[in-house]
Structure 1
């Protein structure tokens, strides 16, 4: 099967500094995304996982053509995303849709649900012949009653607002949907409803989904593959279940062990990371995770690890990857 999305060595950076000092020195940049590569097929879901500030949302925005200082290669459905302009870039906006993290605040309070769902058609000059019928179709698609069309965002529950956001994202029949923390702020029962909805829509519409989250329960529920990000780099990527069963990178193992559980034995075996996340302005030498890694060795402090690839296609960057017993090899 041909990849819908192919990302190679993607870098996204931002200028930092300012004030009088910047007049007499070279401009500094931080690389929020630093050399990320992955592929995604239609009908598949990839979850981007990592702590806040790991570069997940910046990566997603770059893929959607919203980054400002981006290099590398991003091919979407045969097109070079980073070099699109004019009508081609506008066409990309129709095929790559985003579901934003704060469902209510991302919906204009001045508009009714009907107006919100029709706005994408207006922006792209694609107004349907029967707007009301199209609104009814979109509401039904996400499991909302058609009577919801006359409500405003403040009259919606969190779950209803999230469903409106999903319907709005799907309005122009995109091929890729990027969902940024799709269950943030929702009750546990409503989280399950939203996740089931996304799964059903992916299968029904043959969508590719890119889910940004730090909630590992979401990952296990919806994602075929997962990519773990640290300091703007992917430190491990592969089949979701395989990674849950046998993480190879210590950072992945630490994230998985921190997932809330009722298992007392698992809680006692939790990997606790020491220290703070390093600054992007002063990246550590060698393996950038070495200052927090419980298994660090001298080589980790000095030598940048290469990407290792298993026969099953799992990729990770670690000099001494973890084995089935959770202990480092080598």
Structure 2
């Protein structure tokens, strides 16, 4: 999927450069998370249609981490992010004089996926995920039975996000308790289609991908319920990721808000201010269309108020937090 989306984005860019007149229209530059890409790409298409070629929007996919590198150098106007900005990234932005607005746009969940042929893995606990994925598992935890003696004595094949991905950062923080803490002997990719294909075709494979991509490929995959443990609202109950369980916080700890960050200086340009407000106004309809969980309407109104007032900064203190619920996010945004 990611390769196809990247190809289409490149093709669109190439087509746009055919016309010298079109090439001189204002350009809104966006990059970052592949998880957030479907939302932003849909917004870009709708906005460009509305503007009838008077504004061009480019949307790149270099991962949350890779995108923040560009954003904090002032190379992009908008940053797609599947986790909050981190302390080191804030420092980079400060060094370059980049002030930003943090705008939550949706909730997402990380889905644990297996092949439909796998009929024995009914659910998985966060402790089992940790035992499977932690750094010390590399070269040692190789069989399914190494994780749980009740599971087959077959070699596991693991698939997950690459290290520049916000999904990777969040998954490792949620499961291992430390961002970027992971075994390295797995198939890592920023291309979710690669992960889907790898898991779908192998009885002994397991992976993690954004829920929207899992639902898009549900005919090829099976989503495994997760037991969140003592900190979960449902404790020892297996929970399947879905809109209801994400909104309620029951799908713990793998639910999270996703964001766009907007360069404050960029908002001085009429087209970027207009696009940002257009984005927030259309989230209630477009976010569900691309299989993500929309925030309450009030959240987008708060976002628009923050844009109007130029409320810069982050409510997350430069680190990722696990288990943030929609209602918690709303309280923070209201108090910002």
TM-score, normalised relative to structure 1: 0.31
TM-score, normalised relative to structure 2: 0.30
* Larger gyration radius, structure 1 or structure 2: 1
